[in-house]
Amino acid sequence: MSPTIEQTMRRAASVLAKPRRIDPALPIKVGVDLGTAFTVIVITDERGKPLAAANTFADVVRDGIVWDFAGAMEVVRDLKTHLEQVTGRTLSAGSVTIPPDVSLSDSRAHHYVLEGVGIECADVVDEPTAANAVLGVKNGAVVDVGGGTTGVAIIRDGEVIATTDEPSGGTHMSLVISGAFKIPFADAEARKVDVGQQQMLLPVVRPTMQKIASIVRDAIAGHGVEKIHMVGGTSAFYGFAEIMEQVTGVPSRVAPEPMLVTPLGVAQWARPIIEEGM
């Protein structure tokens, strides 16, 4: 029996918290999510079972665009080195995400970041499409609320029929918190991700969340969307699904372990890595 999405994502969270060595005889796939706030690498088996993961906060992508190429390479290289050490495997191939509707030159930048650290890039996949490889939505909308942008994919009969991406996301919420409390951005970011403080912060960030929800409302207009599936770390903020539902008028749910859904999904486009001699 195939595992449920909840079981798969619980395992993804577990291998992020404690990655282990991977049998050298096992073919693996690698997914890289170059986010505005967090960069994530996930290793799976050929069937998409999570085996190991690592993430870090990094300001190397803004509004979906790699603005600090050298910094992005350093971040991915450090995560790659860490995972290679703990798993005993060489991460020589993988796939990477991009926000929807980015230019060809911007998608090439994501590709070149991987190639620059020794990861052969098999494909560059838009974030909501990658997320739906895990969620398996047949009809509805997948919304990836990232740090700098919010991407929306309309799914019909299991196929992506339309995508949009607009600048607004978790980074904007952190900026609002920073201004409201007159604290440095890094401190605001720390408060934002602290689950214990989110209910108190909700009135401060509600207008930003409403703006993000309005982006989604406009993106799904006329498509007959009956359910919204939210991914990306920011979507887990207290009360966000309720605000999304209020603004769009469409039932909304947050996927389990939403920050890990997209990097887990993009690994499906990667070339399997098989150790030499196996």
CATH number of the domain residue 191 falls in: 3.30.420.40
Residue 147 pLDDT level (bands cut at 50, 70, 90): confident
Q: CA-CA distance, 10 to 15, in Å (whole number)?
A: 9
Question: Is 278 domain-assigned?
Answer: no
40 plus 147 within the same structural domain: no
Question: Is 277 domain-assigned?
Answer: no
10 plus 91 within the same structural domain: yes
Number of domains in the chain: 2
Query: Which pLDDT tens digit goes with each residue over 196-241?
Result: 999 999 999 999 999 999 999 999 999 999 999 999 889 999 999 9
105 plus 142 within the same structural domain: no
238: burial class by Cβ within 10 Å (0-12, 13-18, 19+)? middle
Structural domain including 141 reads 136-259
147 plus 255 within the same structural domain: yes
The model's pTM: 0.89
Question: Is 276 domain-assigned?
Answer: no
43 plus 99 within the same structural domain: yes
pLDDT > 90? residue 49:
yes
66 plus 143 within the same structural domain: no
Instruction: Using only the alpha carbons of the chain, give its radius of gyration.
Output: 18
254 plus 265 within the same structural domain: no
Full 3-state SS string of 66-90: ECCHHHHHHHHHHHHHHHHHHHCCC
124 plus 147 within the same structural domain: no
Question: Is 230 domain-assigned?
Answer: yes
26 plus 119 within the same structural domain: yes
Question: Is 275 domain-assigned?
Answer: no
